[in-house]
Structure 1
């Protein structure tokens, strides 16, 4: 357990430091994030995500203190890794385990990063509906991500505990993802709308707290005559947290289709969430050009759900995590290329 806590603790310290630097460098000036800055931020987060995958490839066995066959077999059985170890070669078996961890991590990262794109569609709509100036986007998103990390940590480890105790819940997750994917495909052309006045989060906040409809610069709260009021900036932050909670219901079970190791689920999920903010600023003005992306995400969810439902049969057939990674990337590439080759017709 000490190794797991060291890995987890070191990861959290790194994330906190990066977010503190990020918040200090960009949020105090309250200026819109440029495309160049967003590109640099995206590249940095992708680099860190890939570097962490390399760490797992080299030292992944240290996560669960795997140094002998007994411990290796225990962890493989506990986390349902589809690995056939060589009983006569411990070093090769551990390397195979590390390789499996890194592939599971990268596959989970790609899945979560892809599903985050749908979150961007909603975020653009929320900022527009609440009338939030572009220069405050970054501050709201950074604090939103801090909340998302805490909520997803709870979701992931509760989910892992449920899977460990009730193995059949994987079939529930799988059926839910298939249903969600079909529903997303059926509603792919539906225009999404947000009514700030009637949103359930806004109604709840207005009922129990003082709320002002006016912005007060980049402040989340406004004090008037000694009374503290929530500003629209804090309201949109609450709505974004609520929205992320809903998205987590899809995305976290999706990653559990790739790996049952809660730490790998957490690492891949959090790196993808951290990259979401910079990806938002990259895509905010061109997101509508990728009109086939929702179709791709729908098929992605259907594939992941079907994989969870058929996982026992697929393992017997020889289906590996790397095959999932290839299919997932193929779905995303096809949907992006199709969007560019067949642009959306402008409404007259």
Structure 2
């Protein structure tokens, strides 16, 4: 898809304006209600659907299919990442009225990181075709690791990475939150608050999330414009989705299995594409098949997850 520089600029300006509107409505610390979360979630999904349809209307049918495949994949990975956000919120005991602000900053950090990674990925792909082998192998490994993690029975807990541990050692911090302030001055000393630490926790985990999602979407399209917009629309509304399906996440017990199948499928697709680029006559997987597999796997794992959760709940009632 040939996108001019003015169109890139217009897209970024519109996205920034939408983010500003979202930030304006959520600027005051408050507990997000289900009605508010549902309204905004629907708003962001409708915008993404309209954007995808718009691409088809202007004659970019291939780009439209790639956008929807990328958007659904990135949104699914984001939903899985929400569980990590829940663990982070619990680890740092973030008050309910401040969680929305933390997530807003996390989404902004994620957007910036994705933009950087997309630019780097596009530059690598345009220069070295063998990068597809690396992306494909990484996704297949990630798929296997997701299955291994899903089979563990122990209760998950957020583990602070080396970066966070270094920050906590070097910077004196308060034990309590002081509104949304990132630092305060107490007895002449500048102290960071838990709000800054938890924002850094969200931001540092965003780096790891991008390592999975960027190769995945490059396996569906190599168009930087589609990669960027699919990621942007998938991330926008993530904050509201956290409050909307926070309780439902624990019921999606098979989501990791579904995501592992999708990542493994895209990994194989990337390897086949790399072989094709190097002159090997192998079948390539088209967008219609990719979109069907992604939607089908997500639908099946959602249904089986809800069924398994209901059976477990019924078993617990009968046991008690």
Q: Is the shorter-chain TM-score for this pair beyond 0.5, marking a shared fold?
A: yes
Instruction: Name the residue aligned to 2:53.
Output: 54
1:206 deviates by 2.4
Instruction: Name the residue aligned to 1:329.
Output: 295
Instruction: Name the residue aligned to 1:176.
Output: 138
Say which of 227, 246, 251 aligns to 2:208: 246
Instruction: Name the residue aligned to 1:290.
Output: 252
Contact persistence 2:52–2:64 (CA under 8 A): yes
Farther off after superposition, 100-109 or 270-279 = 270-279
Deviations 1:154-176 (A, max 9, x none): 00010110111110110111011
Equivalents in 1 of 2:191, 2:256: separation in Å? 38
Superposed, 1:57-72 pairs within 5 Å as 57-59=56-58
Superposed, 1:175-324 pairs within 5 Å as 175-190=137-152, 191-195=155-159, 199-311=161-273, 317=283, 319-324=285-290
Describe the SS at the equivalent of 1:132.
coil
Instruction: Name the residue aligned to 1:342.
Output: 308
The alignment's TM-score, normalised by the length of structure 1, stands at: 0.83
Contact persistence 1:176–1:305 (CA under 8 A): yes
Deviations 1:207-248 (A, max 9, x none): 443322221022222222343322111111111111111011
Equivalents in 1 of 2:210, 2:306: separation in Å? 29
Equivalents in 1 of 2:24, 2:4: separation in Å? 30
Describe the SS at the equivalent of 1:223.
strand
Equivalents in 1 of 2:98, 2:254: separation in Å? 29
Contact persistence 1:205–1:211 (CA under 8 A): no
Instruction: Name the residue aligned to 1:44.
Output: 43
Contact persistence 2:118–2:227 (CA under 8 A): yes
Instruction: Name the residue aligned to 2:71.
Output: 109
Deviations 1:25-82 (A, max 9, x none): 1231x111111111111111011111111222233xxxxxxxxxxxxxxxxxxxxxxx
Farther off after superposition, 295-304 or 214-223 = 214-223
Describe the SS at the equivalent of 1:27.
coil
Equivalents in 2 of 1:141, 1:33: separation in Å? 12
Cα 1:259/1:6, change in 2 over 3 Å: same
Describe the SS at the equivalent of 1:219.
coil
The alignment's TM-score, normalised by the length of structure 2, stands at: 0.90
Contact persistence 1:222–1:231 (CA under 8 A): yes
Cα 1:252/1:283, change in 2 over 3 Å: same
Describe the SS at the equivalent of 1:264.
helix
Contact persistence 1:19–1:142 (CA under 8 A): no
Equivalents in 1 of 2:215, 2:3: separation in Å? 26
Equivalents in 2 of 1:16, 1:22: separation in Å? 10
Contact persistence 2:124–2:131 (CA under 8 A): yes
Contact persistence 2:269–2:285 (CA under 8 A): no
How much is the aligned-residue C-alpha RMSD, in angstroms?
2.0
Flag structure 2 segments of 5+ consecutive residues without an equivalent.
Answer: none
Cα 1:171/1:199, change in 2 over 3 Å: closer
Instruction: Name the residue aligned to 1:80.
Output: none
